[in-house]
Chains A and B, each alone.
Chain A
Amino acid sequence: MNNVFFYDASFEGLLSAVFEAYVQKQFPDELLPEGAAPPLFAGRVFHVATQEERSRRVWAALEKKLSPAALRGLELVWFSAIPGSDLLLFRYIRKAIDAPASVETDFGDPVVLRFAQLCRRVSREVLRLKQFLRFQKAADGTYFAAVEPEYNVLPLAVDHFADRFSDQPWLIYDLRRGYGFYYDLRSVREVVLQDTPLLRSGRLGKGQAAEGEEQWQQLWKTYFKSIAIRERLNPRLHRQNMPVRFWRHLTEKQ
């Protein structure tokens, strides 16, 4: 019969579930967030309580078993929030704990291979965020950018922007998930803003933009048009490299 685990859908909860499973010697065939409808034919049902002590111990064990790259991979896959990724993580962790030697490169194994592929997919989304994010300068001197990444990867890209734009205040806001990061020249902190028209459109209005902002955008659009070679137009390649889902927030595509 199927084993069903309910947990609170946090990363600590997942690690606690791993601990619980080893205590009970029962491993889940399905992982569900607390409150979800249980499957019609459930075997044994477990409700996992998130315990900091337990999740910390599991993480400590993983730190011994896995390389730093794989630990970051756990983070990447978790942030992807792709349906089923939590169960994949559970299986990967179980495999890592049970195996006598490192399993990270056993790409013949479907779980390990899928894990590596998801890592690549999510890191590509992080890269896309670094590529296609566009700042607009607001009247108070803050540089504002609206993003809508496919996965929840903004936290993974923030360090890059803090390093690169360390002498200008900026705000990057994930419109889809309703939170963002603000940098005030000293530190980066997570912010949740009230819903305003700005956060629905992602574009600074007339009164909000800094003086000359529109001019710079105009210059950039001009450059973007002039740099293309007319004899070589290739709209398919253009869309493949810069998918349409990003165009909404790209200055040059307005």
Chain B
Amino acid sequence: MKEGVLEKLKILAESAKYDVSCSSSGTVRSGRGKGVGNTVGGVGICHSFAEDGRCISLLKIMLTNHCIYDCAYCINRRSNDVRRATLSVGELVELTMEFYRRNYIEGLFLSSGVVRSPDYTMERLVRVAKDLREAHGFNGYIHLKSIPGASRELVRAAGFYADRLSVNVEIPNEASLRRLAPEKSLESVFQPMRFIRQGVLENQEDRRRLRHVPRFVPAGQSTQMIVGATAETDRDILSLSSALYARPTMRRVYYSGYVSVNTYDDRLPRLKQPPLVRENRLYQADWLLRFYRFRVDEIVDEAHPLLDLELDPKLSWALRHPEFFPLDVNRADYEELLRVPGIGVHSARLIVAARRFGRVDSCQLRRMGVVMKKAQHFLAFRELAVRTVDTLPPESARALFLPARRRKKGEGQLLLDFADE
């Protein structure tokens, strides 16, 4: 390994770290005794966790952090005075292989600043993936960024080497995007998404006829939106997510709380802390869309365009709809059970399976892992004397779930303020 790689690795990892996606899910491919590596599918494997608590599954790195664009929210924008570096294809391939062989990583997540032109950049990304797959027999996970503006041919070439391709929306609104990133438009994001989708659909057709056609982007695509850099409400963000999920091949939308990287730019807010709670609520809402069969207009609507920061979105939905409750655990169907705060996908499945054998009571629910502290107010049991939400006025129902208010120091004690004069 040549000198200087350590320094480059440091610079390029720091440039790539604001991209949230790291998952290695979606493809099952056994090693078959050839080359090195396999992918496990299902939920993927996280090999480490950084000190900010986020998972490290893939070697998340940029090929270069030089960029011709000047997007206000990006650390690597042209006008920023940061250290720049470029890894050669060989260096990057060797890094990936050696890390993989030591079980540090599940594969590679490669992104890049745009140099010269989108096609030039995309072509170099494809070259890395091709080299890994063909020259080194690498069978692990590869996630490539599809560069906005790259040609259809290059996206197609990338798709046969990569497990997942992604294009980041970043800003969910055309006007805001224009303001912050004058060189981009939403169309420049949606076009590569369309290329990927069409590629996958065509590939599915081909594979139906010929079994040995190689798979195209088997783990689908993902995208990311920045939260808190512009004035978009949670309703705008979630509506776009929901529309994206409705299209085939879109597997994940990530939300990235904006970290004030370019504090000098007046177009952006100066935040002391990234909006972590809001980001968390958005992820919870995203889970409701994907696993709990909620519609987006049930989570946020015109009257409530922002998610409640104090309560999770499922609980706030439940409190807005007391007429839906209380439910009978032994009769409610699976979709209804999923709507009960305190019952998750796992416990809802257990309940549905268990009640074929007999009635389910509250002790059994507790043992199954249902959070009874929440759920008891939404379920009707003959055994429990608990007031359910439908019998309570809205404010007191809400108060049940708020964290206990901590007493301030000195509260309840008469304090006489003798100011020095």
Contacts and interface: CB of A to CB of B under 8 A. Distances in A.
11 contacts: A108-B360, A132-B47, A137-B101, A163-B30, A165-B101, A166-B33, A220-B99, A228-B50, A232-B53, A234-B51, A251-B104
A108 B53 contact: no
B5 interface: yes
Contact of A235 (B5, B6, B35, B51): B51
Contacts of B355: 108
Contact of B103 (A113, A145, A215, A222): A145
A135 B103 contact: yes
Q: Which of A131, A160, A223, A235 has the most CB of B within 10 A?
A: A223
Interface string B44-56: 0111111111111
**Range of interface residues on chain B?**
35 or more
B13 interface: yes
B364 interface: yes
B259 A231 contact: yes
Nearest to B95: A219
Interface of B: 1, 5-6, 9-10, 13-14, 16-18, 30-31, 33-38, 40, 45-56, 59-61, 95, 98-99, 101-104, 137, 257, 259-260, 273-274, 276, 350-351, 353-360, 364, 367-368
The 9 closest A-B pairs by CB, nearest first: A237-B53, A105-B353, A107-B354, A228-B50, A226-B13, A234-B53, A232-B52, A241-B49, A163-B31
Nearest to A252: B48
Contacts, number: 160
Interface residues of A, number: 54
A135 B394 CA distance: 57
A231 B56 contact: no
Contact of B276 (A132, A135, A232, A238): A232
Contacts of B367: 110, 113
Interface of A: 105-110, 113, 116, 127, 130-137, 143, 145, 160, 163-168, 212, 215-216, 218-220, 222-224, 226-238, 240-242, 250-252
B46 A134 contact: no
B9 A219 contact: yes
A9 B52 CA distance: 44
Given A143-B101, A252-B48, A238 B13 contact: no
B88 to A, nearest CB: 15
Given A215-B1, A219-B9, A107 B53 contact: no
